[in-house]
Amino acid sequence: MTSRRIRRFVSAVFANPEATAAFRADPEAVFSRFELDDAERACFLAPTMDALACLGVHPLYRFRLLMVVKGASSGPSPMSYYLGRLEG
Amino acid sequence: MGQIAAVLATSHVLFPPQGVEAAAERVFEGMLGIGRRIRAAEPDVLVIVTSDHLMNLNLNLQPPFVIGVADSYIPYGDMGVPTDPFPGHRAFAEGFVGFASDTGFDLARADEIRPDHGVAIPHLFVDRAGHLPTVPLLVNVTMDAPPAPKRCWQLGKVLRRYVQEIRPATERVAVLAAGGLSHWVGVKEQGQINEVFDRIVLDLLARGQVETLASMKGEVLLKEAGNGGVEICNWILAGGTAGDCGGEALFYEPIGAWMTGLGGFAFHEKGHRAS
């Protein structure tokens, strides 16, 4: 069971692309806004699937947090390989 | 009465092809083919039955079924989808909310959503130019527990009745289910694919045994297909709309590097123009 505070924090990080970018740029500011403690901050700064699960983070958010923190979304976007060949 | 012009189903992701070029190409070609079939059916409206990935819905308020009633949509842009707008179909969507309410389904209306890849990638394959009025119908599989397969199947039948009993006689409606097949996201099983189960799903659909699939308990679908593969409910819903008619698998690729089984399917209802 996720806490209300953690649920609100994670929902806010992924509320829109701008919020996600703001978290990536300055995570501490977002942590402070949601009053995360040191252990929680450490978990979100260097997340693992298991640690996020222990905090009750939804699996889909676990996946997205790992993508954000590991910078996996900074390379070419998946659709960039295919867009030029679409029809219709 | 309106006409169900075509009913198809497809996975709704693509990833970089490096290392899996041949399989990626088969999936891409398969999705192109699905787009061609729908365009050949000359629909007036496209209903995309899919799931949101917590881009619009969130954990603060979790409706099981959501229908987009907006006049137009701008994609969220995740996975590199262009944010070109495309039209909605407010009258169709709002009419369905009312019809569904009278037949046992209370749909949540969404006036402000930015469709994520669950809608936007399949939409790109049908209507790259963005001219076809499109209605997103979201099955909220991120809920615990998500809508049951049987409930989705029943909603699909309600959609069929809505088109055939309420919509104008000249209106042609295409339905495209999107999502699946088996995959696990954000859990210890992530990376697994249940190819055996995926092929069972495709076989049951091909033989018109949608009800058998729909009779599966949600917890069984979760175990066999994964928390991402629960999107198979979207295919089951489409099967209900197609009239449990059977059809053919168009492609299937279990791609380990993409952590998912990917498939495409065409329902063959008598009278469909697509071939």
**Min Cα–Cα distance to chain B from A41, Å:** 19
**Min Cα–Cα distance to chain B from A88, Å:** 5
Provide CB contacts within 8 A for A38, sequence distance 6+.
none
Q: What is the pLDDT of residue A67?
A: 85
Contact residues on chain A for B17, CB-CB shorter than 8 A: 81
Nearest to B152 by CA among B209, B226, B66, B234: B234
Interface test with A, best of B55, B62, B117, B255 (most A CBs within 10 A): B55
Q: What is the pLDDT of residue A73?
A: 56
Q: Is residue B275 part of a domain?
A: no
pLDDT in tens, A10-64: 999 988 888 988 999 999 999 999 999 999 999 999 999 999 999 999 999 999 9
Contact residues on chain B for A88, CB-CB shorter than 8 A: 35-36, 39, 125-129
Contact residues on chain B for A63, CB-CB shorter than 8 A: 185-186, 190
Q: Is residue B70 part of a domain?
A: yes
Q: Is residue B86 part of a domain?
A: yes
The residues of chain B scoring below 50 in pLDDT are: 273-275
pLDDT in tens, B242-268: 998 999 999 999 999 999 999 999 999
Q: What is the pLDDT of residue A15?
A: 85
Q: What is the CATH number of the domain that holds B261?
A: 3.40.830.10
Q: Is the Cβ–Cβ distance between B153 and B211 less than 8 Å?
A: yes
Q: Is residue B142 part of a domain?
A: yes
Nearest to B106 by CA among B140, B71, B66: B66
Q: Where in the sequence is the domain holding B123, given as residue range(s)?
A: 3-267
Does the beta-carbon distance from A88 to B76 stay under 8 Å?
A: no
Q: What is the pLDDT of residue A4?
A: 87
Does the beta-carbon distance from B58 to A83 stay under 8 Å?
A: no
Q: How many CB pairs under 8 A join A and B?
A: 89
Contact residues on chain B for A11, CB-CB shorter than 8 A: 58-60
The answer to whether residue A82 neighbours chain B at the CB level (below 8 Å) is yes
Q: Is the Cβ–Cβ distance between B184 and B271 less than 8 Å?
A: no
- Report pTM: 0.95
A2 vs A77, higher pLDDT:
A77
Q: Is residue B84 part of a domain?
A: yes
> Where along chain A do its domains lie?
4-70
Number of domains in chain B: 1
- Tell me: pLDDT of A2 over 90: no
The answer to whether residue B59 neighbours chain A at the CB level (below 8 Å) is yes
Question: What DSSP string describes B72-99?
Answer: EE----GGG-----EE--HHHHHHHHHH
Q: Is residue B274 part of a domain?
A: no
- The pair phi, psi for residue B248, each rounded to 5°, is -145, 140
Q: What is the pLDDT of residue B272?
A: 57
Q: What is the pLDDT of residue B203?
A: 98
When CB atoms are compared, the residue of A59, A66, A77 closest to B80 is: A77
Nearest to B264 by CA among B194, B193, B206: B206
Q: What is the pLDDT of residue A71?
A: 66
Q: Is residue B48 part of a domain?
A: yes
